[in-house]
Amino acid sequence: MTNVAQVEQSLKHILEDRANVLARETGCIERQRKFSGADLLQTLVFGWLSHPEASLETLASVATLREIEVTDTAVHKRFTQACAHFLHAILEEMTGVVVEADRQVPLELVNRFEAIMLEDSSTVALPNELVTCWQGCGGAPGEGHAAVKLHVRWELKRGGLQGPKLTPGRTSDRSSPLKEELLPAGSLYIADLGYLDWGSIAARRAADSYTLTRAQARTLYWTVEGKPLKLDPLLPRQVGQTKELWVRVADEHRYLMRLLIIRVPEEVAKRRRADLETEALRRNRPLGQRAWELADWTILLTDAPAHLLSLQEALVLLRERWQMELLYKLWKQYGRIDDWRTENPWRILCELYAKLIGLLLQHWLVILFAWQDEQRSLVKLAQVVRDAACSLLEALAGNGSLDSAFQSIQHRMRSGCQMNKRKKHPNSTQLLQRRSTGWVLDP
């Protein structure tokens, strides 16, 4: 749990004290003339936080809030390899701080577990000149050779964010740098199929935590006694019909899990098959026949017992993994971490790092002031932080109180920052409040 005073202290320590130290250590600031490390860092972070498409002229204007008079050309000259190393070092300092709300969300289903941890990654393509920094997976000639992958774990009860940890774009999800991070006993871990690893699932259960995942199309099953088990005879034939039983999975581990199956409507199956065709075309791979055949069913695996997680509740919680998609959408569509107005590779890398630092700060403030509201809208709350970015910059520069800036943000977050409730397609919180849903749910 984190309070306002602790966040204030962390911000001043990292964005002021550590910024000046790291700027010298990385060679970003060798002889201070106009910019100190803190001046440069805060100009870029708060400039792009308030205006994600900020030009050099806009950044020069933002610098005046720290009483720094520079031209757009002077700002441009700061975008060097050393500056990129400096901003990356600050980002790593920021990710070392995990801010958590002092109160958990008031949702009974969520609070059955000590923590509910979502994990996902997202990739940002970079200019090919940066391949020595961040190697991508390749692709068409001259494309995809440089990319960086962001790895994030997000805890739903108190909002704590681990990451983003950065790796080369070619890093697989199963090799996530967060893989060895332990979960509290009694936690539930939810991730997409890219993270499916039977050894990790067994290790989590041995540490008294649980896993909820979709099943891969090629998964093999055995009975509890260890006899081979055919999946097809178990598949429900009527839309909305379910099947549930304990099985063993994974040839090497023969790990005991609950198999949960539900037959989905035809329109859902059609949409899934269209997605499979699109993905096969994108990856230039043959369409998976078994995945095509199983598109009529949602098939889940969990080692959580039924008294903790029913089939319908598992569907609701698995749907929560889309919160990660919304988080990355917030960072990309609104924070513009993959959008820039230059061809200079070092400026692009500096912009990416500075924007991620600002978005982490944004997340901290959402957790501090709005996490206890289960109907919170991240998009609306993020807009409040963007509007207040320059006030935060002025406060850090000594031209105002950081506490007053925080109070203003908190006041605004209390009004007009909730999701719109929906009758036909309930939002995430509405589903969690109901605790169970019908077969129309499509996780």
pLDDT at 172 over 80: yes
Query: Is-above-0.75 flag for pTM?
Result: yes
Give a three-class secondary structure readout of the chain. CCCHHHHHHHHHHHHHHHHHHHHHHCCCCCCCCCCCHHHHHHHHHHHHHHCCCCCHHHHHHHHHHHCCCCCHHHHHHCCCHHHHHHHHHHHHHHHCCCCCCCCCCCCCCHHHCCCEEEEEEEEEEECHHHCCCCECCCCCCCCCCEEEEEEEEEECCCCCEEEEEEEECCCCHHHCCCCCCCCCCCCEEEECHHHCCHHHHHHHHHCCCEEEEECCCCCCEECCCCCEECCHHHCCCCCCCEEEEEEEECCCCCEEEEEEEEECCHHHHHHHHHHHHHHHHHHCCCCCHHHHHHHHEEEEEECCCCCCCCHHHHHHHHHCCHHHHHHHHHHHHHCCCCCCCCCCHHHHHHHHHHHHHHHHHHHHHHHHHHCCCCCECHHHHHHHHHHHHHHHHHHHCCCCCHHHHHHHHHHHHCCCCECCCCCCCCCHHHHHHHCCCCCCCCC
Sign of CA dihedral 300, 306, 309, 310: positive
Confidence of residue 167 (pLDDT cuts 50, 70, 90): very high
Residue 429: what pLDDT? 56
Residue 128: what pLDDT? 92
Residue 118: what pLDDT? 96
C-alpha to C-alpha distance for 43 and 60, rounded to whole angstroms = 8
Residue 142: what pLDDT? 45
Confidence of residue 64 (pLDDT cuts 50, 70, 90): very high
In one-letter notation, the amino acid at residue 365 is: L
C-alpha to C-alpha distance for 291 and 55, rounded to whole angstroms = 47
Per-residue pLDDT tens for 211-239?
999 999 999 999 999 899 999 999 999 99
Residue 424: what pLDDT? 55
What average pLDDT is seen over the chain? Answer: 89
Residue 47: what pLDDT? 97
Q: Which residue has the higher pLDDT, 416 or 72?
A: 72
* Range name among 120-134, 140-154, 199-213 with the lowest pLDDT average: 140-154
Closest CA to 250 of 178, 307, 308, 303: 303
Q: What is the mean pLDDT of residues 314-341?
A: 92
Cis peptide before 52 (omega within 30 of 0): no
Cβ burial of 57 (10 Å; 0-12, 13-18, 19+) is exposed
Q: What is the mean pLDDT of residues 55-67?
A: 95
Confidence of residue 420 (pLDDT cuts 50, 70, 90): low
Per-residue pLDDT tens for 277-300?
888 887 788 888 999 999 999 999
Confidence of residue 441 (pLDDT cuts 50, 70, 90): very low
Per-residue pLDDT tens for 364-403?
999 999 888 878 899 999 999 999 999 999 999 988 889 9
Q: What is the mean pLDDT of residues 347-372?
A: 95
Confidence of residue 1 (pLDDT cuts 50, 70, 90): low
Q: How many CB atoms lie within 10 A of CB 113?
A: 22
Q: What is the mean pLDDT of residues 291-316?
A: 94
Residue 440: what pLDDT? 40
Confidence of residue 425 (pLDDT cuts 50, 70, 90): low
Confidence of residue 436 (pLDDT cuts 50, 70, 90): very low
pLDDT at 240 over 50: yes
Confidence of residue 434 (pLDDT cuts 50, 70, 90): low
pLDDT at 138 over 70: no
